[in-house]
C-alpha cells in the first residue's frame, strides 16, 4: 500500500479517498452493484480455469486493512486463466472483506443485496508485466476473483484460516501459512459475472478485470463474525458497470453443463 493513510472512518473513509487518490472519481471504479438482468451473455466467454494445485502459499498477515494470505508468485504454479483473460494471471494473495458483528461486509452487491463477507483472490499478468507493482497500474494488469460468503453451514476448510487468525490478530503481524490450496474455498459452480473495474481500496488503480462468482460459499455465523483489529469497513458502491457479461455455463463435475445460477 502507498504511504498515504486511508481508512473507513468519517475523516479518512471512501468519501474523501479522492483527495489523496483522484482516480476514485474515475469511470471504472469498484465495487459495483451487480444487476443480473442487465448482464449481457457473451458467448465468446469460456469457463475460468484455476490451476492452484501446486499451491504456493507462504504466510498469513494482518496489514491493518485485512488479513492477507500471500503466495509465492515467482513462477506460474498458481494461476487463473480462461474466461475474459488473454493470459494466465499469477496468484499473489487473497484476503477477505468482513463486516463487523451482525453487519454484512461484502463489497459487491447483487441487486442491492450484500453478503456477510467477500473473498478476493488477487492475480497479476506476469506475461505482460515484470512485477505486481507494474501490473497493478496497467489496465489489463490484474484479475481479481470475487467469491461471496453467506451464513449457513460451517465451512470445514475456513477453520484453517480462522484458526491462524489468532496468530495475526494485530496489525503488521505475520505467521507462516504454507501448503494452503484456495481451491477448497470455491463453490461448486464457477458461473461468473465479469467487468472491468478497479482495486476497491486505495490506491484504487483501474487495473482489475473482475470475475465475480455467482454462487456464494456457506460459512457459519461464528466464522462470518470473525473480527480482528483489521475489519474493513465497506466502500460505497460507485454506480454500476456499463457492460457486465455473465460467463457461460461451466462444466460441472459430470462434464455436462450446470444450470445457470441467477
Ligand X SMILES: COc1ccc(N[C@H](NS(N)(=O)=O)Oc2ccccc2)cc1OC
User: Which residues here bind ligand X, judged by CB under 6 A?
Assistant: 1, 63, 65-66, 68, 92-93, 95, 120, 122, 132, 144, 199-201, 203
8, 10, 13, 18 alpha-carbon torsion, rounded to 10°: 180
Between 146 and 248, CB nearer to Zn ion:
146
Q: How far apart are CA 11 and CA 64, in angstroms?
A: 17
Instruction: Tell me if 148 sits within 8 A of 213, measured CB to CB.
Output: yes
Applying CB under 5 A, the residues found at the interface with Zn ion are 120
- In 3D space, the residue among 187, 209, 186, 214 whose CA is nearest the CA of residue 197 turns out to be 209
The least CB distance from residue 31 to ligand X, in Å, is 8
192 vs 51: CA distance, rounded Å: 17
Cβ-proximal residue to Zn ion, closest one = 120
User: In the complex with ligand X, which residue's Cβ is closer, 52 or 96?
Assistant: 96
Catalytic residue status for 65: yes
Q: Are 148 and 106 in contact (CB under 8 A)?
A: yes
Report the nearest approach of ligand X to the CB of residue 144 (Å).
5
With respect to ligand X, which residue has the nearer C-beta, 127 or 251?
127
Q: Which residue has the cell 468482513?
A: 98
User: Residue 18 CB: number of other CB atoms within 10 A?
Assistant: 14
Quote the least distance from Cβ 5 to ligand X, whole Å: 14
**Of residues 71 and 248, the one with the C-beta less far from Zn ion:** 71
User: What number of CA atoms fall less than 13 Å from residue 37's CA on the CB side?
Assistant: 2
**Marked catalytic residue, from 18, 65, 95, 104:** 65
Nearest distance, CB of residue 251 and ligand X, angstroms: 27
Binding at 93: pick from ligand X, Zn ion, none (beta carbon under 5-8 Å per type):
ligand X
Residues 99-127: b if buried by 16+ CB within 10 A, e if exposed: beeeebbbbbbbeeebbbbbbbbbbbbbe
Whether residue 193 is preceded by a cis peptide bond, meaning omega within 30 degrees of 0, is no
Report what 147 binds from Zn ion, ligand X, none; CB cut-off 5-8 Å by kind: none
The minimum distance between CB 44 and ligand X, in angstroms, equals 25
Of 210 and 248, nearer to ligand X (C-beta) is 210
The residues carrying an active-site annotation are: 65
Amino acid at each position: 500500500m502507498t504511504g498515504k493513510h486511508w481508512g473507513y472512518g468519517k475523516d479518512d473513509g471512501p468519501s474523501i479517498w479522492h483527495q489523496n487518490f483522484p482516480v476514485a472519481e474515475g469511470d471504472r471504479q469498484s465495487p459495483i452493484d451487480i444487476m443480473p438482468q442487465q448482464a449481457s451473455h457473451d458467448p465468446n466467454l469460456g469457463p475460468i480455469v484455476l490451476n492452484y494445485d501446486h499451491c504456493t502459499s507462504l504466510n498469513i498477515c494482518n496489514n491493518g486493512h485485512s488479513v492477507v494470505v500471500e503466495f509465492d508468485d515467482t513462477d506460474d504454479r498458481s494461476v487463473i486463466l480462461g474466461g475474459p483473460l488473454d493470459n494466465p494471471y499469477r496468484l499473489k494473495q487473497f484476503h477477505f472483506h468482513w463486516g463487523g458483528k451482525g453487519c454484512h461486509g461484502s463489497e459487491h452487491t447483487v441487486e442491492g443485496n450484500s453478503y456477510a463477507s467477500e473473498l478476493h483472490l488477487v492475480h497479476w499478468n506476469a506475461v505482460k508485466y515484470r512485477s505486481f507493482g507494474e501490473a497493478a497500474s496497467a489496465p489489463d494488469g490484474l484479475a481479481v476473483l470475487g467469491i461471496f460468503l453467506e451464513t449457513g453451514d460451517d465451512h470445514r476448510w475456513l477453520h484453517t484460516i480462522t484458526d491462524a487468525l489468532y496468530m495475526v490478530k494485530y496489525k503488521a503481524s505475520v505467521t507462516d501459512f504454507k501448503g494452503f490450496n484456495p481451491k477448497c474455498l470455491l463453490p461448486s459452480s464457477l458461473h461468473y459475472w465479469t467487468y472491468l473495474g478497479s482495486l476497491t481500496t486505495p490506491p484504487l488503480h483501474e487495473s482489475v478485470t473482475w470475475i465475480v462468482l455467482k454462487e456464494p460459499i456457506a460459512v457459519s455465523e461464528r466464522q462470518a463474525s470473525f473480527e480482528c483489529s483489521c475489519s474493513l469497513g465497506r466502500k460505497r458502491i460507485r454506480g454500476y458497470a456499463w457492460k457486465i457479461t455473465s460467463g457461460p455455463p461451466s462444466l460441472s463435475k459430470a462434464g455436462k453443463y450446470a444450470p445457470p445460477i441467477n
